[in-house]
Amino acid sequence: MKVLKGIFGVLLSIILVCIGFAGGFLYRVFVEDAPVSDTPPVLVNGDISIHFLELGNKYTGDSIFIQCGENDILIDAGSRNTSAPTIISYVDQYVTDNTLEYVIATHGHEDHIGAFYSTSTREGIFEHYVVENIIDFPLTSKTDDEITEGSVIGQYYSAREEEIANGANHWTALECYNNENGASRVIQLSEDVELEILYNYYYEVRDASDENNHSVCVMINQGDNHYLFTGDLEAEGEERLVDFYEENYGGLPHCTLYKAGHHGSYTASSDKLMQAITPEYVVVCCCAGTAQYTDTSANQFPSQDFIDRVAPYTDNVYITTVVDNYSESMSDTTVKSMNGNIIFSVTDGDISLEFSGHDLKLKDTDWFKENRDCPLAWETA
């Protein structure tokens, strides 16, 4: 009996050793030596990443990709229809199921909606992705005669309607704010993060002179951190926004992140708004120094007035793109990355910034030193 037990013990030891070798081998084959996935992990719990995209050409525009939990969100798709491949290539790195849970189109200008629709030679955002929910501007400054089949806004509307026919929900920002027709003012992105559609006076009142004032305004709330996106809302709209929230909700909160209004124009990011939100980080989606809209250097994005109004609150200002070769003709102007694609992330409560270009603050760049006067607040920072 003792002999049998001895033999059994030896056999058991051999078996255990073999299992150990086999387990180690399998671990090395399937885990240790497995290729590292290029797919970024899905953010969970209270984590969020906000990506400000370069758009692949010399024209200023907005496209902001947000990932939170299992929600993929795209705010705007500018600057031209030619930006569509650049946006798709970037977003496809993160969206593994070909689905955008939310698309928000802030207003009817090409530099915000131009890449949503397809052309005979180019696939747009709505065609490439399955979009579950679309939120956009209730009003436009354009007349019915201007909204033709071939116009930018007309092509956006047609592509949107096709996406709705394919199953997407659609609401205006006003419906969201009013919690009407199945829309929600506050959208829970994860347990600790919510997306809030803010009220804008110009959701209900047509501003025939300025499409920008019809911009959808969004606040993302993550505990005490708030991230504000106002599209191209101008000073008049900003002032009404501040007044409305002071009168009805005790005011807008301090904002950890502010997407600079209207690309850092002198006509937006007003003193009243800056005093209300006292931003910590500001990202400007623009081509710094471009003469696309004006030959007046001080008013080119990001304008001197914008810088002067932001400076008392923060020097954490970052720019996506900068003019490389300036020409009086836009056709001959070339651009390059400044900070490039900018990723603002909050992971386990910690804020981090990543850049595909350099990591310099605006005030430390050569472009700023050559083209802008340094505010006193930044000189002493």
Q: pLDDT digit string (tens) for 247-306?
A: 999 999 999 999 999 999 999 999 999 999 999 999 999 999 999 999 899 999 999 999
Close Cβ partners of 251 (under 8 Å, ≥ 6 residues apart): 242, 245, 276
**How far is Cα 352 from Cα 127, in angstroms, rounded to an integer?**
33
Q: Is it the case that residue 44 has pLDDT exceeding 50? A: no
**How far is Cα 353 from Cα 72, in angstroms, rounded to an integer?**
19
Q: Is it the case that residue 1 has pLDDT exceeding 70? A: no
Within 10 A of 277 (CB to CB), how many other CB atoms are there? 24
Q: Is it the case that residue 106 has pLDDT exceeding 80? A: yes
| pLDDT tens digits along 185-212 | 999 999 999 999 999 999 999 999 999 9
| pLDDT tens digits along 130-170 | 999 999 999 999 999 999 999 999 999 999 999 999 999 99
Cis peptide before 79 (omega within 30 of 0): yes
Q: What integer pLDDT is reported at residue 380 of this predicted model?
A: 87
pLDDT, average across residues 103-130: 98
pLDDT, average across residues 82-101: 98
For residue 325, name the pLDDT band (cuts at 50, 70, 90): confident
Q: What integer pLDDT is reported at residue 331 of this predicted model?
A: 80
**Strand 130-136 and strand 169-172: pairing?**
parallel
Q: What integer pLDDT is reported at residue 342 of this predicted model?
A: 98
| pLDDT tens digits along 336-367 | 999 999 999 999 999 999 999 999 999 999 99
Q: Is it the case that residue 22 has pLDDT exceeding 90? A: no
Q: What integer pLDDT is reported at residue 381 of this predicted model?
A: 76
| pLDDT tens digits along 308-322 | 999 999 999 999 999
Close Cβ partners of 88 (under 8 Å, ≥ 6 residues apart): 123, 125, 128
- Asked if residues 78 and 64 have their Cβ atoms less than 8 Å apart, the reply is no
Q: Enumerate the β-bridge partners of residue 220.
A: 195, 227
Q: Is it the case that residue 324 has pLDDT exceeding 50? A: yes
Tell me the two tokens of residue 375: 């505010």
Q: What integer pLDDT is reported at residue 8 of this predicted model?
A: 39
Scored b (16 or more CB within 10 A) or e, 207-234 reads beebbbbbbbbbbbbbeebbbbbbbbbb
pLDDT, average across residues 21-46: 38
Backbone angles phi, psi at 52, to 5 degrees: -100, 115
SS3 assignment for the chain: CHHHHHHHHHHHHHHHHHHHHHHHHHHHHHHHCCCCCCCCCCCCCCCEEEEECCCCCCCCCCCEEEEECCEEEEECCCCCHHHHHHHHHHHCCCCCCCEEEEEEECCCCHHHHCCCCCCCCCCCHHHHCEEEEEEECCCCCCCCCCCCCCCHHHHHHHHHHHHHHCCCEEEEHHHHHCCCCCCCCEEEEECCEEEEECCCHHHCCCCCCCHHHHCCCEEEEECCEEEEECCCCCHHHHHHHHHHHHHHHCCCCCCCEEECHHHHCCCCCCHHHHHHHCCCEEEEEEEECCCCCCCCHHHCCCCHHHHHHHCCCCCCEEEEEEEEECCCCHHHCEEEECCCCEEEEEECCEEEEEECCCCCCHHHCHHHHHHCCCCHHHHCC
**How far is Cα 131 from Cα 103, in angstroms, rounded to an integer?**
7
**How far is Cα 259 from Cα 134, in angstroms, rounded to an integer?**
21
pLDDT, average across residues 14-42: 36
Q: What integer pLDDT is reported at residue 199 of this predicted model?
A: 98
Query: In percent, how much of the chain has pLDDT > 90?
Result: 84
Mean pLDDT of the chain: 90
Q: Is it the case that residue 11 has pLDDT exceeding 70? A: no
**How far is Cα 64 from Cα 53, in angstroms, rounded to an integer?**
6
pTM of the model: 0.88
Q: What integer pLDDT is reported at residue 31 of this predicted model?
A: 31
Q: What integer pLDDT is reported at residue 326 of this predicted model?
A: 74
Close Cβ partners of 189 (under 8 Å, ≥ 6 residues apart): 48, 68, 69, 71, 73, 195, 220
For residue 45, name the pLDDT band (cuts at 50, 70, 90): low
